[in-house]
A and B are shown apart, each in its own frame.
Chain A
Amino acid sequence: MNNVRDKKRANKSLPFFFRTEFKVFFTIILVSTILLISTFSFDTVPPILNRGIQPATFPKGLLVIIIVLTSIIYYLSFKKPWKKEKNLPKPFFLTILSFIIFIIISKTLDFFLAISVLSVFVSYHWGERRIFYLLLVSIIFPLVVFIFFEMILGLRFPPGIITNIYYY
């Protein structure tokens, strides 16, 4: 109990722009404002085709609601600060990095190669060192998934250096 209180206090003692509450508030407000501004560039329809309201009105209303509610939670956080979260561990960042690698490889080289690389990368950095299991997640299982989708579900995967060998 005291530990939680200490953590909350620790969070409150930080300058406001370092506090989680401010970071979340700032991010939501920033994104919402950008989206709100973009709604002003939506096309409008002439009154005769207009079904009740203009297409931009509804999303505008939603964004205003989001901004107002976010301001309320930020205001309330002064009275009741949020619990300070633990720092994110290294495997989390490595998993995010694996997503980025996945996007790059799937776009430039091959969709299945990307899955294999991500699987072995994640499995290894999450602590797996046994060769058989690394092969299982990176080659055997993606191959089973490929065969299942390709042969049973009749799906055609995007072309790539490995997929092309199969298709041609």
Chain B
Amino acid sequence: MDNLILMMAPLFSSKLLLVLLFGTLFGLVLGVLPGLGPTTGGALILPFTMTLDPLSAVVLLTSIYCAGTYGGAITAVLINTPGTPAAAATCLDGYPLAQKGEAGRALGMATVSSTVGGIFSVIVLVFFAPILANLAYEFGQPEYFALAIFGLTMLASIGDGSPIKNLIAGAFGILISTVGKDFMTSIDRFTYGINELSVGIGFIPVVVGLFAISEMLTQSTLLEQVFKRVALKAVKLPTKEDYKKTWKTILRSSGIGSFIGVLPAEGGTVASLIGYSEAKRFSKNPEEFGKGSVEGIAGAEAANNAATGGAMVPTLALGIPGSATTAVILTGLIIHGVRPGPDLFREQPDFLYGIFGAMLIANILFFIFGFFGAKIFARITLVPNKILWPMIFAVSVCGTYSLSQSIIDVWIMLFFGVLGFFMRRYGFSVVPVIIGLILGELVEGTLRQSIVIFDGNWLMFLTRPIALTFFILSLIALAFPLIRSKKFKK
């Protein structure tokens, strides 16, 4: 009961409510604009959160996350371009249904299933995050090291693209975290006499560079792209017939999405694809899929929004991000001096339940905004890239500069922007870089402390059951793509 009251705290604070309203609206705008999305948008707004207290900052980021994930569906349905990668599966049936003159019905189904998926995942978060956090009390340094390795290997194997390339990107991210003074011995590493580098490379220049600036460069290669827009009159609530047809799909996809979200593996995108394919597998009318099936829309949308709460479980309970956007949220927590993990659950329950409540309210808010305002949000896609991206650049530069008022940070941002563009061009996901950078200190610190505990004997890792389990799971995660590709060959 106490926890429920704590969860409702954002409703009774005008400041938090205002932050939630702004975050949800901003998240919808970001989700609607192809190329932006909650990850890039979250990265852009990170420097601004410094002016807020930690709870308001995280509430802002999580509401952007929830609403942005849904917002991608509006563009997917109306212009056949996913506003966010997680909405890619929504295009498959959303756009064909819109072409039949039923854009309102398609968006109505997307809105309802997204809301149900989102709320379902918040319930999962409320119940499972404390359980996982309790388990984490058993963890010592070796277990945390093994867990971080497991997180990175999972991300590499289930995330976008080649697992080996993802591993390289993850290792590179960890390498970036070693720049500056060694936190244990204060010895300079990779600073090459540049004083500014001795404090290390900040999260924000890297995050903004890899997401926003690299996307700007990507957009510069897509200027000839022409979108075909489908007209939208009004969003329609699903009919009784539609509910009958889809309620099982929505629940199944909510479960799938929440489970996939918990795994540190680029939550929403994978979840929506699995949710969609499972909806097709269980459907009585699989032949309708790809031609405007409401089950297809429900399957994809419930799953990708369900992944939002799921991805927050490891982020808050263990400090291991479950997706790219939660990596940004984790960055927000860290720069506000909040270290996620079991202690957070014990020492700051009001903070945590405030976040849970904010996510719940954000899901309800985006339902209202989506239902009544989808037509307006759809018009945002009319803003041409040649105007939008120079503006985003100005905000990126000022935001990055504002953090430590260092021009070097701006140059680092530009460097990572160019690097991120080429990484994506050649099939290296940028998400593992961010997660590697965030987990870098944890990986190195726990490894070095474990070696001290084990008196230099590396084999002692194998005597710790939890650590051993994570190592075995890491090996399975690495072997998974091989097994999957062999299965597909057969």
| A residues lining the B interface (CB < 8 Å) | 20, 24, 28, 35, 38-39, 42-45, 49-53, 55-56, 58-59, 62-63, 65-66, 69-70, 72-73, 76, 82, 85-86, 88-89, 91-92, 94-96, 99, 102-103, 106-107, 111, 115, 118-120, 122-123, 126-128, 133, 136-138, 141-142, 145-146, 149, 152-153, 155-158
Q: A66-B175, A158-B407 are in contact. Are A51 and B426 (CB under 8 A)?
A: no
Q: A52-B448, A157-B401, A158-B407 are in contact. Are A115 and B171 (CB under 8 A)?
A: no
Q: Report the minimum CB–CB distance from A15 to chain B (whole Å).
A: 19
Prevailing SS type, chain A contact patch: helix
- From B162-170, B276-284, B345-353, B469-477, the one touching the partner chain is B162-170
Q: Is the pair B389, A122 in contact by a Cβ cutoff of 8 Å?
A: yes
Partner of B168, one of A28, A59, A86, A145: A28
Tell whether B237 is near chain A: CB-to-CB under 8 Å. no
Partner of A156, one of B162, B189, B405: B405
Residue of B nearest to A124 (CB): B386
Q: Is the pair B407, A92 in contact by a Cβ cutoff of 8 Å?
A: no
B194-224 interface mask toward A, CB cutoff 8 Å, 1 = contact, 0 = none? 0000000000000000000000110011011
Within 8 A of A (CB), among B163-183: 164-165, 167-168, 171-172, 174-175, 178, 182
B8-31 interface mask toward A, CB cutoff 8 Å, 1 = contact, 0 = none? 000000000000000000000000
Q: Is the pair A55, B220 in contact by a Cβ cutoff of 8 Å?
A: no
**Chain B CB within 10 Å, residue with most, of A50, A69, A96, A157:** A69
For B401, list chain A residues within 8 Å (CB): 111, 155, 157
For A107, list chain B residues within 8 Å (CB): 407
A158–B398 alpha-carbon span in the complex (Å):
11
For A96, list chain B residues within 8 Å (CB): 217, 418
Q: Is the pair B221, A89 in contact by a Cβ cutoff of 8 Å?
A: yes
Q: A92-B221, A126-B385 are in contact. Are A119 and B168 (CB under 8 A)?
A: no
With contacts A20-B426, A50-B185 known, what are 8 further pairs, Cβ within 8 A? A62-B174, A72-B164, A91-B221, A92-B220, A95-B216, A115-B397, A120-B390, A136-B387
Q: Is the pair A62, B178 in contact by a Cβ cutoff of 8 Å?
A: yes
Q: Is the pair B426, A91 in contact by a Cβ cutoff of 8 Å?
A: no
Q: Is the pair B405, A62 in contact by a Cβ cutoff of 8 Å?
A: no
Q: Is the pair B402, A58 in contact by a Cβ cutoff of 8 Å?
A: no
